[in-house]
Chains A and B, each alone.
Chain A
Amino acid sequence: DSGVTQTPKHLITATGQRVTLRCSPRSGDLSVYWYQQSLDQGLQFLIQYYNGEERAKGNILERFSAQQFPDLHSELNLSSLELGDSALYFCASSPRDAGLYEQFFGPGTRLTVL
């Protein structure tokens, strides 16, 4: 158990819908990262927040958005869902935003878009 929690574990929804994935980082970690893992692709970095502020952006679609709240939990919002958005979404956390820190991954949310 990495100490990172994600809810829900599974999510099944229809095309065009909107969902929110939630992540709580390890106690004391200020940085949160979101990754998408599709069957035919590796882990794709989406976005990073550090202490409430956006720190780095990867291949995140405009239909997706995220935020980190004052209590440091983070939410990833996916809207106008398409079949291709079906994937495992992982959240990871680390103590700081830079430096020699490994990232600890949560168990993931499996999103299925029908």
Chain B
Amino acid sequence: GQNIDQPTEMTATEGAIVQINCTYQTSGFNGLFWYQQHAGEAPTFLSYNVLDGLEEKGRFSSFLSRSKGYSYLLLKELQMKDSASYLCAVRAQTGANNLFFGTGTRLTVIP
């Protein structure tokens, strides 16, 4: 089976840095994705890690440790528009592209 855990909610202040953690236990591993989803809207792709280490993309960075089954998404210089749910997803199978999602972390950015 697949098990992906994220905190349910987080609150952070505008301009600050926030780290959203994700731990996973899956039958296989072939990459970890982070998506952003505003309420009632489609998820949009943020980042992808398949090897250990940090991937940086502007204000967003994502880290992966395969041996620990752990990833985090780091958001810097928080803006009000960053208030959204952040979804961690694992591609568990080699040769297939379907994703298993965690329940998501709802981030609220306050002034």
Using CB atoms and an 8 Å cutoff, list the residues of chain A in contact with chain B: 2, 4, 31, 33, 35, 41-45, 48, 55-56, 58, 88, 90, 94, 96-108, 110
Contact = CB atoms under 8 A, between A and B. Distances in A.
B98 A42 contact: no
Contacts of B102: 42
B24 interface: no
Interface residues of B, number: 26
Nearest to A48: B98
A100 B50 contact: yes
A33 B42 CA distance: 13
A104 B42 CA distance: 9
Could you tell me the dominant secondary structure of chain B's interface residues? loop
Given A48-B96, A97-B96, A42 B103 contact: yes
Contacts of B44: 2, 105
A35 B87 CA distance: 14
Contacts of B89: 43
B19 to A, nearest CB: 20
20 contacts: A33-B97, A42-B4, A43-B43, A43-B87, A43-B89, A44-B101, A56-B93, A56-B96, A58-B98, A90-B43, A94-B97, A97-B96, A97-B97, A101-B97, A102-B48, A103-B97, A103-B99, A104-B45, A105-B42, A107-B41
B97 A96 contact: yes
A90 B44 CA distance: 12
Interface of B: 4, 31, 33, 35, 40-45, 48, 50, 87, 89, 93-104
A94 B104 CA distance: 22
Given A43-B43, A90-B42, A98 B103 contact: no
Contacts of A35: 101
B26 to A, nearest CB: 12
